[in-house]
Amino acid sequence: MYGISPQLHISELTRKPQQGLGIYAASKAAVHGKLSLVDGHENILLIGLVSAVAESLMGELAPFNIKVTLVQPGAFRTEGIYGQAYFTTNPVPAYDQTRAISMARFASVPGHEKGDPDKAAEAIVDVVRGEGVAKGRPWPPYLFLGEDAEADVRSKCSKILATVDQWADVARAVSFDDSNPQN
């Protein structure tokens, strides 16, 4: 096992933006609670947190030999949101087209998710134990589960880096001048 007390933080922040599902996506990133006993290890916490908290904890807990991983899964065949009715009460007419697209996408997903939740759970347990798929690898600060999660994070990083490149001159232009005596 890596370290004394690993923490796994679960978040969907890498997911690509989808019209009509922004509030749902934001709620997935909110705190979901904690389970203090996982696979017989009382010192492992599964916490649904936004990436900013998990990333802060990566540095803050390192001196105590506590490892933190931000797990970011793609779509998995679970009995989650897709078992619920799509909320259509009191619709705003200006959003009719967006709602229709979102409802069609929502209805098309159940049963077509590529992610196998049993395999994801096995991978997470392997990481915690340092066995199986994790054997011989360093502790991962991020664990993307599912082909769609991998594609989404690669796309997001590519967009961010392209924007950084396009606006690098502006980013650098806001620093104090070297000749300024107050810096």
Instruction: Please indicate whether residue 136 or residue 115 has the higher confidence score (pLDDT).
Output: 136
Q: Please, what's the b/e burial string for 51-76 (b: 16 or more CB within 10 A of its CB; e: otherwise)? A: beebbebbeebeeeebbbbbbbbbbb
d(CA 100, CA 112): 20
Please report the sign of the dihedral spanned by the C-alpha atoms of residue 18, residue 20, residue 21, residue 27.
Answer: positive
167's tokens: 């606006």
So what's the pLDDT on residue 33? 35
Q: Please report the domains of the chain, with CATH numbers, ordered by start residue.
A: 7-166 (3.40.50.720)
- Helix or strand run (H / E) with residue 37: none
pLDDT tens track for 57-114: 888 888 888 888 888 888 888 766 666 777 777 788 898 888 888 888 877 777 778 8
145's tokens: 């589960």
59's tokens: 């540095």
Calculate what percentage of the chain has a pLDDT beyond 70: 66
Count the neighbouring beta carbons within 10 Å of the beta carbon of residue 8: 20
Count the neighbouring beta carbons within 10 Å of the beta carbon of residue 118: 10
